[in-house]
Structure formats: C-alpha cells, structure tokens
C-alpha cells in the first residue's frame, strides 16, 4: 500500500540537501572515507557491498543492501524518508548495471491532485542473486524474486518471478532460467 508524504517540508528538504552533498562528494572522490559516510546513512549495508561513483539517493535511512552486491555507476535509489515506513531492500550477491533506477517514490496521476505535489512511496524488494542490466528502471511496489535477470533498458512495473529472465517496456517474462 502506497503511503503519502510531503517532501517539500523544510526538514525533508534540508535532509535531502545534506545527503545529496554526500553523494556528490562520493561521485567526485569515491574514496573509502566518502564511501563510509554514504554507507552509514543506510538502514543496513554490508561491508563488502561495492559502489561505483555516481550513486544518488534522497534519504538512505530505509535502504538495506545485502552482502557482495555490486552497484555500477550512476545508480539512483529514489527512496522515501523514515517516516513513510517504506523501504528499498536489496538482497545479497546482486549485480546492478550502470544507470539503474530504483524508484520507490511517485506522484498523483490526475492533473488537479498532482498540483499539490504529494509524494507516494511503496516498498521495492529485490531478492538474492538478481542481475539488473544497464538502464533498468524499477517502479514502486515491485518485488523481484531470487535468481532473476532483468534485461538492459527494461522498465519493471510488476513483480518478477524467481529464476526468470524478463525484458522490455514494460518488462515481461522471456523465459525461465
């Protein structure tokens, strides 16, 4: 179930500004010190998770990343603040291609309500040993089950079965693995 929140409060704007600065520092200099400052913001992040430069997220406090996961350059994790209760959960041994977008936040579809600028957040759960090809986009509310592969450039709007290969826009099942 999606939860509504207001991202334009002064508190959340200041929090995002500080986190975005840490992301910029890591992008300019992906040193161990800058990486440590990034990882401490997450709800949980294994020591052996590897990030290429170009990581972007808004809050971090409800992002969990499992052991031995590799996140390639220019990854965006559009997450919600702690108050929303919604999480981005990434399992162990995952591989993210460059330019992957995990988008747990959305807006109203109808024009008039959209003028209020409300944000809606929902969980995204990515299982263990999942490979997301370059440029994959995952939308709010999606669960990607263990051992699956999503082809480059795909847009995932619905849950993905375990041990399966999905591709396309919207992503659809190509075959079992």
Would you please indicate which residues are annotated as catalytic (active-site) residues? 107
Q: What is the DSSP string of 23-59?
A: HHHHHH---HHHHHHHHTTSSEE-TT-EE-S--EES-
Beta strands in 60-154 (DSSP E): 63-65, 70-71, 76-78, 88-90, 95-96, 101-103, 105-106, 119-121, 124-126, 131-132, 137-139, 143-144, 149-150
Q: Give the number of C-alpha atoms closer than 13 A to the C-alpha of residue 76, restricted to the C-beta side.
A: 11
């Amino acid at each position: 179930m999606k939860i509504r929140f207001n991202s334009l409060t002064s508190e959340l704007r200041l929090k995002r500004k500080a986190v975005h600065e840490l992301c910029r520092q890591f992008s300019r200099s992906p040193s161990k010190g800058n990486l440590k400052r990034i990882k401490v913001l997450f709800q949980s992040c294994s020591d052996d998770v590897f990030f290429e430069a170009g990581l972007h997220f808004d809050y971090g406090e409800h992002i969990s990343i499992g052991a031995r996961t590799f996140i390639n350059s220019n990854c965006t994790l559009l997450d919600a603040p702690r108050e929303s209760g919604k999480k981005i959960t990434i399992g162990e041994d995952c591989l993210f291609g460059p330019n992957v977008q995990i988008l747990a936040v959305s807006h109203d579809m109808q024009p008039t309500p959209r003028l209020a600028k409300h944000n809606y957040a929902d969980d995204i759960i990515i299982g263990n040993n999942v490979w997301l090809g370059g440029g994959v986009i995952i939308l709010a509310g999606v669960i990607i089950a263990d051992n699956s592969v999503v082809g480059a450039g795909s847009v995932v709007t619905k849950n993905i079965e375990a041990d399966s290969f999905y591709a396309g826009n919207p992503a659809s099942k190509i075959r079992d693995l």
